[in-house]
Amino acid sequence: GCLFFFGNVVDFVVIIMSEAVTSVPEESEERSDTNRNTDSSKRSRDVPEDAEEDGSPPCKKLAEDNAEKSASSSEDEDTAKGKSKNKKHMVTLSSGRAVNVKKVRNHVNPLTALYNRPVALPKELQEGGTWNDIYLDPSKPLVLDIGCAKGHYCLEGAKKWPELNWLGLEIREPLVIRGNEWAQSSSLRNLRYINGNASAGMADLLTAFPKGVLKRVCIQCPDPCFKTKHQKRKMVTPRLVMELRDHMPQGSILYVQSDVEMVAQQMADDFSAIGGFTRTDRNEYGELIDATGGVDESRPPHGNKAKSKGHAYCDAKIGTGTWPNMGVAAAPDGTYPWLPRNPYQFQSEREASVLSRGEPMFRMLFVRSGAAAVAKATGSEGAGAGAKE
């Protein structure tokens, strides 16, 4: 009887424990589901409804979205700035094509069909106008800069000397267009740029100038054309030399310079040999061009600047190292009498850059000396030969 009673008690206890164990997981699971729903409702208030379910934490997803928007906005701003910057340097050529001036090549081949044609007259003259349509006062003395490059020399010169008219001649049309835009925006009625190849002929332009106004011609740092096969491309050709001799008024000044000594020697020899040009140490204002403070800028190093390292153009060999009329402008000892400083205390961009590195500049001034000198140099005295005065 006892055993029967004890067995019933044990069965009863087992049944009670089984029910207790079975009920605990259900309650725990129900409680876990409740907590999960509560956490989910809290997160739903913070996470956008369109957030992607890619497994990333909601806060990380928001940070990534904000970063993407910021980057996209920054790229849009950079693109807008780039377009604005490029637009600033764009010019429209006579052909209608738009060109970025910053991408214009430093040198071009003047013998190609695109460039190998004589310098044309300004469009105002071609359309029947006069120099009054170009300059406010065309009777002012004229400075002609042949191969004016970017045009800063003429631009600053026109600002500094408003009593002079300035004309820049450049073979690359984009630079000419931008230069005229500068002149217009600065309201400079004494400045003009024209496009053309001086080595192909500029007699028409020289003839069209008002009589006697051409007072100074500048040829500064032309392309050195180091290779022998490129010597035929050089700007100062016998044709250009003769045209300048035949059209520059008596007493006008020719100013040549280069940071490559052989290029300067070639120019000096050609103008000395052709006749009609006499070397001078004074500019058109009568100022003697001597060394200032004992500094000779044709002999480096000068001033307080040491000669720069790297390729020295003053020692560069041009072509074969020989040329027609070689040594005509040299002194009896074979040296060339270069000017010790700039005759106008006014530097071109290239000149300023060269001098800042302690490198030399080789300069020479010539005065147009008249028909008698031409006749004597050419052996045509009494034959009616001479230059236009």
pLDDT digits (tens, 9 = 90+) for 261-314: 999 999 999 999 999 999 999 999 999 999 888 788 998 765 545 555 545 676
SS3 helix, strand, coil % of the chain, rounded to 5?
45, 15, 45
Cα(122)–Cα(118) distance, rounded to whole angstroms?
Answer: 13
Cα(132)–Cα(287) distance, rounded to whole angstroms?
Answer: 31
Residue 384: predicted pLDDT: 38
Take residue 311 and report the two structure tokens written for it: 């390729």
How would residue 176 be classed by pLDDT, with cut points 50, 70 and 90? very high
Query: Is the whole model's pTM more than 0.75, yes or no?
Result: no
Cα(365)–Cα(339) distance, rounded to whole angstroms?
Answer: 8
Give the largest CA-CA distance in the chain: 169
Could you tell me if residue 355 is inside a domain? yes
Could you tell me if residue 156 is inside a domain? yes
Could you tell me if residue 358 is inside a domain? yes
Note the pLDDT tens digit of each residue in 29-83: 444 454 544 454 444 444 444 444 445 555 555 666 665 665 555 555 544 455 5
Q: Find residue 257's DSSP bridge partners.
A: 220, 363
Could you tell me if residue 322 is inside a domain? no
Domain assignment of residue 188, given as a range: 91-292+332-368
Residue 294: predicted pLDDT: 79
The conformational region for residue 187 under phi > 0 = left, psi -120 to 50 = alpha, else beta, is left
Could you tell me if residue 86 is inside a domain? no
Take residue 131 and report the two structure tokens written for it: 């120099």
Active site residue 223: yes
Handedness of CA 144, 148, 151, 156 (dihedral sign): negative
- The larger pLDDT score, comparing residue 9 to residue 26, is at 9
Residue 74: predicted pLDDT: 53
CATH of the domain at 211: 3.40.50.150
Q: Name the 3-class secondary structure at 388.
A: coil
Could you tell me if residue 16 is inside a domain? no
Q: To 5 degrees, how large is the angle CA 272–CA 274–CA 278? A: 40
Could you tell me if residue 382 is inside a domain? no
Residue 382: predicted pLDDT: 45
Could you tell me if residue 111 is inside a domain? yes
Set 204, 223, 246, 281: catalytic member: 223
Note the pLDDT tens digit of each residue in 198-213: 999 999 999 999 999 9
Residue 200: predicted pLDDT: 95
300 contact partners, CB below 8 Å, separation of at least 6: 307, 314, 358, 359, 360
Number of domain units in the chain: 1
321-339: average pLDDT: 94
218 φ/ψ angles, rounded to the nearest 5 degrees: -115, 135
